[in-house]
Structure 1
Amino acid sequence: MNVFYNKWYKNHALVYKILLFIVTTLFIVYLFPKTGKFRYSFEKGKPWQSENLYAPFNFAIKKSKEELDKEKSEIKGQSLVYFEINTEIKEEVLSDYLTRFNQVFKDSSNFSIENSDLYKKGKAIVNSLYSSGILDSDYNYADDRAVKLATANKVEKEIQYGSLFELSNLRQRVESDMGNSIPIDVKKRIVSVFFDVIKPNIKLNASLTEKALEEELSRISLTRGRVEKDQLIISKGQVIEEAQYDILSSLKSEYESQVWNSANYNWVLIAYTLLVALALLMLLLFLSKYRKEVFINNTKVTFIFFNIALMILLSTLVINFNSQYIYVVPLCILPLVLKAFFDARLGLFTHVLTVLLLGFVVPNSYEYMFLQIIAGMVTILTVSELYKRANLFISVGQITFIYIIAYFAFFVIHEGQLTGLKVEIFGMFILCGLATLFVQPLIYIYEKIFGLVSDVSLLELSDTNTKLLKELSNRAPGTFHHSLNVANLAEASANEIGANAMLVRVGALYHDIGKMNNPTYFTENQSTGINPHDELSSEESAKVIIDHVLNGIEIAKKYNLPDRVIDFIRTHHGTSLVYYFYMKEKAANENVDIKDFTYPGPTPFSKETAILMICDSVEAASKSLKEPTSTKINDFVENIINKQMESGQFLNADITFKEIQALKKVLKFKLANIYHLRIEYPE
C-alpha cells in the first residue's frame, strides 16, 4: 500500500494533468451538437466543387421555410371563421325600440300621423340590421371571407363577412335608410333612439376558429417530391440552382437528424471525443516540448484549459441562441490573455486550436476559421505592451478592421457583387472589438484567481513608491541606488535581445531586498567608514552575504510578490562563490570548505534571470574601477561575463552566445556613458 501511495505522490502532477485533459475533453464534447455533419459545403448559384453526388438513400425533398410560410399565410387568409349568434336579442331590441320611441316622441303633437310612419320605418331598419346580424367589434376580415354563424347547438349558416353589420356604421345606415324627407331634428332624435337600443348579437368564437385553422395547417405537407436511392443529385461543376439547392438542403437535414439513430449517435460521440482529445493532446505536447516551465505548473495548465473551454462555451451559447451573432464573441481575448501571462507563440498556438475546435459547431466553418485565425495573428503581432492603454485601443481597432476587410472579401467571392451586403455584420465586428477591451479587467480577475502575474502588475510593481521599495530606500539607500542602476542596465539589455524588459526591470528592483536585514554589512551602505566584517571571521562574513538571498525570498513572500519576481531573488547569484572572503579564508586555512562560501542557487533558468545576474555583477564590480577608460571597461565586462560562463551559471538558461555578445556590447556602451568617458585630446 505504501508503494502505491509513494507512486501516487511522485506522479500526482501527471495524474492531475490526465484528469484535467479528460474532463476538458468531455466538457467540450458535451457542448458540441450530437448529430452528424454533412461533409459537403454548397451555396445557391455557385458551382458544385465536389464529385458527382448520388442519393445515398431514399429521402423526401423538404419545402423551404419561405414556401411553408407562404402556404400558411394563404390558409390563414382563407380558413373559416366561426361566430356565435344570439337569436333572442332581436326581440329584446324591438321591445326596447318601441318603449324608447314613445319616450322620445310622446310630446311631438305635430307628428301624430308621421310618427306612426316613422316608427314603422325604424322598425323595418331594425329587422334589416338583424336579418344578417350585428358584430360586437370590427374584426378587419376581408369582405369576401367565409364565416359560419352558429348557435349554442348547431351551425346555422355560412355567409360572407361583408354581409355582417358593424356598429361603427350605425349612424350612416340609419340616416341613409330614413331618407331626406324627414326633418333634421327628427332624424337626430330617431338616430339617438337607435344608439340607445341596438345591441350586437354576433361575437367571434375564438376556440372554434383556432381549431379550424389548426386543422387546416396540419394538412400542409412539409415535403414535395422524393429522391430515390442512387439517383444523380448534381454533377461536378454544375451550378447549384434552386431545385438542386432544395434537394441538397433536404439531404443535409436528413444527415443531421433522422439518419443518426442511437447506434450512430454513439459513434458520433466517439468521433468528436477523438478529435477534441487529439487537439488538446497537441497543446500538451507543445507545452511539454517548448514551454516546460508552464507544463510542470498545474495551475498554469489549468488556466490555459479553462480559457479554451470558456471560449467554446460562450460561442456555443451564442450559436444556440442565434448563430447570426457568432462574430460578437470576442475570441481574440484568448491570445491577448495568454500573451499577457505567457508569450505570443503559446497564445497563437492555443488560439488556433480553439478555432479549429469551434469549426465543428459554427456555420460557414471555413470562413469563420479564416477570419478568426487571421484576427488572432493580428492580435499577437500588434499588441506589444498590454499595460499601455493606447496600444490596446490601437490593436482592437486593427483587429476590427481586419474582420471587416476579410468579411467583405468573402462576401464578394460568394456573391460576386456588392448588393445585399449586410451592414449589421459590420456592427457585430465593432461590438466584438469593444468587447475585446474587457481583457484588462479580465486579466486582473485571473491574477487574483490563479495567482499569475501580467505586465500590468509588473508595471505597478515597478513604481518606486511601493511600500517595499520605499522601505528599501530608507533602510539601505546604497542598495536601493544599486538596484536602480541594475534595473536600467537590465532593461536596456533585455530590449537588445528581445527579452521581457518589464519583467527584468521589476526583478532588478527587488533582487537585493534581503539586504534590508543587515544593510551595513554591504559596502554600498557603509557611509561611516566602519566595516562590521572586521569583527567577523571570513566564514561568518560569507554567511551574512549569502543569507541576503534567503532573507530576500522571505521578505518577498511576506509582501506577496509574484513567483516570477521571486525567481530573480533566488537566482541572481546562482551557485557563484563569495570570492573575497573565500580567498581571505584560504590564505589562512588551506583546508577551507568551498561549500561554505558558495551561494545555494539555483542558477538562472531564463533569459531574464540570466540578464539580471550579468548586470548585477557588472554594476557592482564597476564601482571598483579606478580611472576607467574604454579599454578597461571592455576588459572588465569581458572578464566578469566569461567567468560566469566558465562556472556554468548559464547552462540552464535559454540564452545563446550571440545574445551574450549583444549583452556585452550594451553593457560596455552603458558603462562608458555612466563614467562620462571623453576623447583624450593631445596636449
Structure 2
Amino acid sequence: MKDFINFLYKNHSLAYKLILFISTTFLIVYLFPKSGKFKYNFEKGKPWQSENLYAPFDFAIKKTDEEIQSEKKEIKDNAILYFNLEPKIKDQVIADYNSEFKLELPDSLVKKDKEKLFALGLNIIDHIYNYGVLSEDFDFSNDRKVVLLEGRTEKQTIKFSDLIKQGEIKNKINNTLNNENLSQYSTPYISLFFDIVEPNLEYDKGITEKALQSDLDKVAYTRGSVERETLIISKGEVVEGSKYQILKSLESEYESQVWTKSNYNWILFAYTLLVSLALLMLLLFLRKYRFDIFENNTKVTFIFFNVFLMVLITTLVVNYNSQYIYVVPICILPLVLKAFFDARLGMFTHVITVLLLGSIVSNSYEYMFLQIIAGIVTILTVSELYKRANLFISVGQITLIYIIAYFAFFVIHEGSVETLKWETFGMFVLCGLATLFVQPLIYAYEKLFGLVSDVSLLELSDTNTKLLKELSNKAPGTFHHSLNVANLAEASANEIGANAMLVRVGALYHDIGKMMNPTYFTENQSTGINPHDELSSKESAKIIIDHVINGIEIAKKNNLPDRVIDFIRTHHGTSTVYYFYKKEKDFDSTVDKNLFTYPGPKPFSKETAILMMCDSVEAASKSLKEPTSIKIDNFVENIINKQMVDEQFLNANITFKEIQSIKKVLKHKLANIYHLRIEYPE
C-alpha cells in the first residue's frame, strides 16, 4: 500500500490528467443524445444517393405535424358541447306568468285581445323552453352539436342554433305580436316576460373539455405501416411525397425508439470511445508538440474546460431550438487559445471540438464544414488581439465567411435562391456580435486560471504603471537599463518569431529587485561613491544575487503574472558574480563558488533565453571604451558564447541558428546605439 501511495505521489501530475481526461469524457458523453442515429442523409426533392434501402424492421408511417394539427383543429371545432338543463324553471315561469299577467296588463283591455295575449304568452314560453334558455351568450358555431344533460343523464342532442339566447327573446315577442296585429301591447308584454323569464341551461365546461380530450387522445399519429425487408427507395429515386414521409418515419424510429438496456449500453460505450479518442488526440498533441503546456495541469484543465464549455452551450441551444445553432460563437474557442497559447494549438483544439459537436447537431457535414472554415479564418486573421480594431475586422471577416459558405450549401441543396432563409444570415451576424464577448472572457480567464494574454502584457508594458514608476524613481539607472534591454529583446524576438510582447514586458520588470538596494548597482551610482568598497566580496555578492529573490517578492506582492516572474527568476540563470568571485579567490583560493552563483533556474524558453543574452550584452556594453564595429562584434560573440559554454540555454527550446540571428540583431543595435559607421577598407 505504501509503495502504491509513493507511486501516486511521484506521478501525481499524470494521475490528475487521467482523472481530468475521464471526467471530461463522461461529462461530454452525458450531454450527447442517447439514441440511435440514422446513417443516411437525404433532402426533399433530391435524388437518393445511397444504395437501395430496405426496411430493417417493421415500423409505422408517421403523419406530418401539419396533418396532426389539422385533425386536432377539426376535432376542436366540432367538439360536442354539454349543457345542464334545469326542468323545474319552466314550470316556475308558467306559474309566474299566470299570476303576473293580470297585474301587468290593464283591466280595460278588450276581453278577446286579453285571452289571445294570454294564449300567445303560453305559446312563447313553450317555444323558448322547448330546448332551453342560455344563462349567457356564447360564441359557438350554430352547427355545433349540443347535448342536454338532466341530472347528469343525457336527455337529447340538438344543434347550438336551437338554443335561445336571452337577447333573442325580445325580438321573438315583437315578431309574434306583429303577426297577430297586437303590437300596441308590446311594451307591457315585453316588460312582463323580462320579469318572469329565467335561464334554465348552464354550460358544463368540465364535461365538455373532458369529452374533447378523450377525442383528441384518439387521434392516430400514424397511417399505415412498412413491413421488414420492404423496398423503401431505390438509388437515384427522387425523395418526395410518400417516400419522403416514410424516410422521415424511419429516421424518427431510429432516433426515438425505446432501446433495450443492451442497446442503450452499447450506444453509451460507442459514444465514450469516440469522445475519448478525440480527447486523447488532444492530449497526445500537447505531449508531443506543446510539452510545456502538457506539464502544466492548470493549462491542460483550462483547455479541457473550454472544450466542454462549447459542447455544453451547443447542447443547450440544440435542446431549446436547433434552428439557433449558428448563433453559438464557436470561434471564441480558437480566439481564446490563440490569445493564451498559440495559433496551432488553437486550431487543433477547435477541430477536435467541432468533430465532437458533429454528433449533436443535425446536418453535421454542413455544420462541421462551416465551423472548421470559420476557425481557420479566425486563426489566419486575428493578430494582436489587444488592438480593438483588429478584433472587429476579424469578426467581420468570420461573419462574411459564414454567410458565403452557408449560401453555397443552400444553393447546392435547394438548387435555387428563391427560398433562401434570410433569417439565418441574421443568426450569423448575432454569432459575430457574440464573438466580441471574447475580450471580457479573456479577462475572466486570466483571473480564474492565472494565465496571461497579450492584452495584459500590453497593460504591463506601460511605463506609467505604479511599479515601473517606482523603479524609475528609486533606481533611475536600472530603469534606463531595463528600457534598453526591452528594446534589444523585442527586436531579437521579432527576428526569430518569439513572443515579442512577452519578452519586452519581462525585460521591463526583470531588475525590479534592485529597488531594495539601488546604490549597490553601478548604473545607479551617480555620486561616484561605491558602497561595495566597505563590504567583503561575499557580502557584496550576496547583495547582488539577492536582487533576483527581492524581485520575485516584489513581483508577487504586486500580483505580476507567473510568466513575467519567470524572467526575473531566469535572467541570470546559474551564472557567477564573476567580479567578486575572482576578487575573493585572489584572497582565498579555497572559496566556495556556490556563494557567488545565482540560484537559477536556467532559462527554459526562447523568450527567457533572449532576455539573458540581451541583459548581459547591454549591461556589459557600458564598459566598452572607444567601441568599433569589430570590438562590438567580438564583444557580443564572447558574452553569448560563454553563456553557451556554461550551458545556460540547455533547457530553452532555442536553436543555434536562432542564437546566431540574435547575435546579429544585437551587433546591429549596439552599433546604432554607439552611432558607429561602417569601417571602409583603406
Q: TM-score, normalised by structure 1?
A: 0.92
Instruction: Tell me what 2:516 maps to.
Output: 517
Task: Tell me which residue corresponds to 2:305.
Answer: 306
**Which residue matches 2:479?**
480
For the residues of structure 1 that align with 2:679 and 2:644, how far apart are their CA atoms?
34
Deviation at 1:594, TM superposition (A): 4.5
User: In the alignment, residue 28 of structure 1 is paired with which amino acid?
Assistant: I
Deviation at 1:268, TM superposition (A): 0.8
State the alpha-carbon separation in 2 of the partners of residues 96 and 673 from structure 1: 122
Shift of 1:332: 2.1
Partner of 2:555: 556
Q: 1:81 to 1:183 in 2, by over 3 A?
A: closer
Q: Residue 236 of structure 2 corresponds to which residue in structure 1?
A: 237
Shift of 1:259: 6.3
CA deviations on 1:599-643 (whole Å, 9 max, x unpaired) are 332222222112212222222223233444555444444443344
Q: Is the 8 A contact 2:174 2:183 kept in 1?
A: no
Q: Identify the residue that residue 13 of structure 2 maps to in structure 1.
A: 13
Cα deviation per residue 1:411-457 (whole Å; 9 max; x = unaligned)? 22211222333333233323323332332222222222222222232
**Correspondences of 1:211-360 after superposition (within 5 Å):** 211-258=210-257, 260-360=259-359
Aligned in 2, Cα 1:460/1:93: closer, same or farther, shift over 3 Å? farther
CA distance 1:195–1:391, shift in 2 (3 Å): farther
Q: CA 1:499 to 1:111, structure 2 compared with 1: closer, same or farther past 3 Å? A: farther
List per-residue Cα deviations over 1:389-427 (Å, max 9, x = no partner): 333333333333322222222222211222333333233
Q: Where do residues 93-108 of structure 1 align in structure 2 (5 Å cutoff)? A: 93-97=93-97, 104-106=104-106
CA drift of 1:476 comes to 1.2
* Aligned match of 1:45: 45
Cα offsets for 1:576-606 (capped at 9, x unmatched): 3434334445555666655444333222222
Distance 2:434 2:674 in 1: 50
1:75 aligns with 2:75: yes
Q: CA deviation at 1:567?
A: 0.7
CA distance in 2 between counterparts of 1:98 and 1:391 reads 95
Name the amino acid aligned to 2:8.
Answer: W
1:195-214 equivalences in 2 (<5 Å): 195-214=194-213
Mapped to 1, the partners of 2:442 and 2:535 lie a distance apart of 49
Equivalents in 2 of 1:100, 1:629: separation in Å? 134
> Does the alignment pair 1:447 with 2:461?
no
Residues 139, 395 of structure 1: alpha-carbon distance in 2 compared, 3 angstrom cutoff: farther
Partner of 2:33: 33
Offset at residue 656 of structure 1 (A): 3.4
Structure 1 residues 428 and 200: alpha-carbon distance in aligned structure 2, compared to 1, 3 A threshold: farther
Aligned counterpart, 1:145 = 144
CA distance in 2: counterparts of 1:517 and 1:448, whole angstroms: 29
Alignment of 1:428-447 (within 5 A): 428-447=427-446
Residue 256 of structure 1 and its aligned partner are, at CA, apart by: 2.4
Q: Whole-Å Cα distance in 1 between the matches of residues 248 and 286 of structure 2?
A: 42
Find the counterpart in structure 2 of residue 607 from structure 1: 606
Q: Which amino acid aligns with 1:541?
A: S
What residue number does 2:177 align with?
A: 178
Aligned-residue offset at 1:119: 5.0
Deviation (angstroms), 1:65: 1.8
Query: For 1:476-495, what per-residue CA distance to the aligned partner results, in whole angstroms no more than 9, with x for missing partners?
Result: 11111111222222223333
Aligned residues: 681
The CA deviation at 1:180 is 8.1
Q: Which runs of 5+ in 2 are unaligned?
A: none
SS, match of residue 321 in structure 2 = helix
Q: Is the 8 A contact 2:571 2:611 kept in 1?
A: yes
Label 1:655 to 1:242 Cα distance change in 2 as closer, same or farther (>3 A): farther
Match of 1:63 in 2: 63
CA distance in 2, matches of 1:208, 1:577: 98
Identify which range, 112-121 or 315-324, moves more after superposition: 112-121
Aligned-residue offset at 1:355: 1.4
Alignment of structure 1 residues 627-666 onto 2, 5 Å: 627-666=626-665
Q: Distance in 2 between matches of 1:227 and 1:563?
A: 67
Report the AA paired with residue 345 of structure 1: R
Q: Evaluate the alpha carbon distance shift between residue 575 and residue 227 of structure 1 in structure 2; reply closer, same or farther with a 3 A threshold.
A: same
Between the aligned partners of 1:475 and 1:101, the Cα distance in structure 2 is: 116
Q: Tell me, in whole angstroms, the C-alpha distance in 1 between the residues paired with 2:659 and 2:275.
A: 42
Which secondary structure does the structure 1 equivalent of 2:303 belong to? helix
Distance 1:362 1:681, change over 3 A: closer
SS at match of 2:354: helix
Deviation at 1:284, TM superposition (A): 0.9
Offset at residue 507 of structure 1 (A): 0.8
- Give 1:12 shift: 1.1
Secondary structure in 2 aligned to 1:226? strand
Counterpart contact for 2:605–2:654, Cα < 8 Å: yes
| Structure 2 CA distance for partners of 1:659 and 1:102, relative to 1, 3 Å | farther
1:592–1:332 CA distance, 2 compared to 1 (3 A): same
Structure 1 residues 622 and 112 mapped into 2: Cα distance closer, same or farther (>3 Å)?
A: farther
Closer, same or farther in 2 for the Cα pair 1:92/1:550, shift >3 Å? same
Where does residue 54 of structure 2 map in the other structure?
Answer: 54
Q: Distance in 2 between matches of 1:185 and 1:579?
A: 134
Cα distance, 1:280 vs structure 2: 0.9
Q: Report the AA paired with residue 6 of structure 2.
A: N
Identity %: 70
Alpha-carbon RMSD across the aligned residues, in angstroms, is: 2.9
Displacement after TM superposition at 1:666 (Å): 3.7
In structure 1, what is the Cα distance between the partners aligned to 2:293 and 2:100? 97
Q: Which portions of structure 1, spanning 4 or more consecutive aligned residues, are displaced by more than 6 angstroms?
A: 110-113, 180-185, 678-682
Q: Secondary structure at the match of 2:232?
A: strand
Give the letter for the 1:308 counterpart. Answer: V
- CA 1:366–1:185 in 2, change beyond 3 Å: closer, same or farther? farther
Tell me the amino acid that sits aligned with residue 360 of structure 1: S
Q: Secondary structure at the match of 2:147?
A: strand
Which shifted more, 324-333 or 275-284? 324-333
Cross-structure match for 1:542: 541
Which residue does 1:92 correspond to in 2? Answer: 92
Query: Does 276-285 or 163-172 show the bigger shift?
Result: 163-172
In structure 2, C-alpha distance between the alignment counterparts of 1:602 and 1:520, rounded to whole Å:
26
Shift of 1:63: 1.9
AA of the residue aligned to 2:545 = I
Distance 1:592 1:467 in 2: 41
Look up the SS of the partner of 1:134 in the other structure: coil
Say which is worse superposed, 482-491 or 199-208, in terms of deviation. 199-208
* Offset, 1:303: 1.6
Q: CA deviation at 1:469?
A: 2.1
Cα drift, residue 524 of structure 1: 0.5
Whole-Å separation in 1 of the counterparts to 2:193 and 2:307: 76
Conserved 8 A contact 2:351-2:372: yes
List alignment gaps of at least 5 residues for structure 1: none
TM superposition shift of 1:297: 1.3
Cα-to-partner distance string for 1:177-225 (whole Å, 9 max, x where unaligned):
3328879885455445444443332233223323333333333332222
Equivalent residues of 2:132, 2:164 under 8 A apart: yes
Q: Distance in 2 between matches of 1:27 and 1:294?
A: 23
Q: Distance in 2 between matches of 1:207 and 1:256?
A: 38
Distance apart, 1:528 and its partner CA: 0.7
Structure 1's 165 and 401: CA in aligned 2 closer, same or farther, altered over 3 A?
A: farther
CA distance in 2, matches of 1:217, 1:385: 62
Q: Distance in 2 between matches of 1:419 and 1:171?
A: 59
CA spacing shift, 1:323–1:482, aligned 2, 3 Å: same
Q: Secondary structure at the match of 2:653?
A: coil
Shift of 1:87: 1.9
Per mean C-alpha deviation after superposition, the further-off stretch among 592-601 and 527-536 is: 592-601
Give the aligned partner of residue 4 of structure 1. Answer: 4
State the Cα deviation string for residues 6-56 of structure 1 (Å, max 9, x = none): 222111111111111111111111111111211111121112122221122
Per mean C-alpha deviation after superposition, the further-off stretch among 228-237 and 263-272 is 228-237
Distance 1:86 1:555, change over 3 A: same
Matched, 1:470 2:469: yes
**What amino acid does structure 2 have at the position aligned with 1:58?**
D
Deviates more, 1:513-522 or 1:180-189: 180-189
